[in-house]
Amino acid sequence: MRIGLAGLGTVGAIVAARLLQGAVRRAELVAVSARDAKKDRDIDLSSVDFVATPLDLVSHGKVDVVVELIGGENGIALDLVEAALERGKPVVTANKAMLAAHAARLSDLSFDGGVPLAFEAAVAGGIPVIKTLREGLVGNDIHRLCGILNGTCNYILTRMEAAGLSFEEALKEAQEKGFAEADPTLDVSGLDAGQKLAILSALAYGVAPNMDNIVVTGIEAVTAADIAFADAFDSVIRLVGLAERSGNGVYHSVEPVLVKRAHPLAQVVNELNAVSISAEPMGAVMLQGPGAGGGATASAVLADISDIVSGFGRPLFNGTVAAMTESASSFAPAREFYIRLELADQPGSMAKVTKILAENGVSIEEVVQRSSQAGDSHLPVVFITHQAENAALDAALTALEQESEICKAVLALPVFAEED
């Protein structure tokens, strides 16, 4: 089959080079679209048609399959994918933002038209988690899916842990090494991981993708002190995406959590990603590998091209989004929490804080307090709570924030719960 490729950035250039080398049997690169046709990309594209705009790939007489590697939630990327599907041409994309935001429209075009829309590269880079959910776990009842879905955040947190860096220092290092964008907001805010989780939940549970259903907290407030306190509890901090059955639906969250060092997710470091799936009758399975970078993403794109060329292409989902019946739940399971605050170095401060927690239904399991330095008016203190409901914790935090004379800089993180 003949391939039309939109986008010759880092990923697109690798995909183009591999196709020209014959890496995917029966797949021939015939046309490309890029902003600068004259740019030296160290690839011989003399046998390939350069088209003026990405949309020209859809009308190109030789193009059978469209590969979208432009990026962006809206704009030309969305226009290209919609036009290709309407024309009956299969699509391969790595664009999780577009899929999460426009799942309903794209699933209608793909499923109703019987046109494959492949997106392995959109979630967790080179880890074949989409194929695992669609094929390897068919017939299983998935009751929990969690993982490290953003390589930028994982790099920052593990460098803070390993080298004692501040958040700002670790972010700067990540940017210098190409693991973080110049504007890292989408990554460090947790939104990127949230978009990926929305896609995974649609596949695992049949919950219509909707970012409003996901509790998202980024890593910007995590400090070097939090990393050190986590170590005192034999734990590390990771940004974890979670989707699990709770109440009458599926609860979704992306947030920094304390993970015990003995847990496999604690061993996932730097830019690596990992996804853990618990299902019946399979049991537990964990996938780990590079979650970002040109090579990992290009590998997933090439695998999708191979599936389509071989006749194994599928629609976006196994049905339309409108037909998805599973509900999202806002009811978070009861969890232990890590609470860090700076407590006034004066008699009665600790007693008042513990009283506020108790009055709001939050009981304390462990306490770690650092020694004061000369001139310090506040001491860093951390509590690990027993299991508590989110509502109880929120009420306690609100009450603590009103006691500005005795405590400040309050931060709460869930403690990652291992399954029974």
Indicate the fold that domain 2-93 takes in CATH. Rossmann fold (3.40.50)
Interval 92-108 mean pLDDT: 94
Cα-Cα-Cα-Cα torsion 338, 339, 341, 345, nearest 10 degrees, comes to -90
Q: φ and ψ at 240, to 5 degrees?
A: -120, 130
Model confidence at 373: pLDDT above 70: no
Domain residues of the chain, as ranges? 2-93, 138-289, 337-414
2-93 and 138-289 in the same fold:
no
Long-range contacts, stretch 59-63, CB < 8 angstroms, 24+ apart: 59/87, 60/4, 60/30, 60/31, 62/2, 62/30, 62/31, 63/2, 63/3, 63/4, 63/30, 63/31, 63/89
Let me know: does 196 contact 241? Beta carbons within 8 Å. Answer: yes
Distance CA 176, CA 186 (A): 17
Q: Which pair of structure tokens corresponds to residue 270?
A: 């730097």
Distance CA 68, CA 389 (A): 43
Domain 138-289 has CATH 3.30.70.580: no
Let me know: does 354 contact 362? Beta carbons within 8 Å. Answer: no
Q: pLDDT tens for residues 233-275?
A: 999 999 999 999 887 899 999 999 999 999 999 999 998 999 9
Q: Which residues are catalytic?
A: 196
Directed axis angle between helix 10-20 and helix 294-309, to 10°? 50
Let me know: does 336 contact 414? Beta carbons within 8 Å. Answer: yes
Q: pLDDT tens for residues 128-176?
A: 999 999 999 988 999 999 999 999 999 999 999 999 999 999 999 999 9
337-414 is classed in which CATH architecture? 2-Layer Sandwich (3.30)
Region of poorest pLDDT, from 228-232, 344-348, 396-400:
344-348
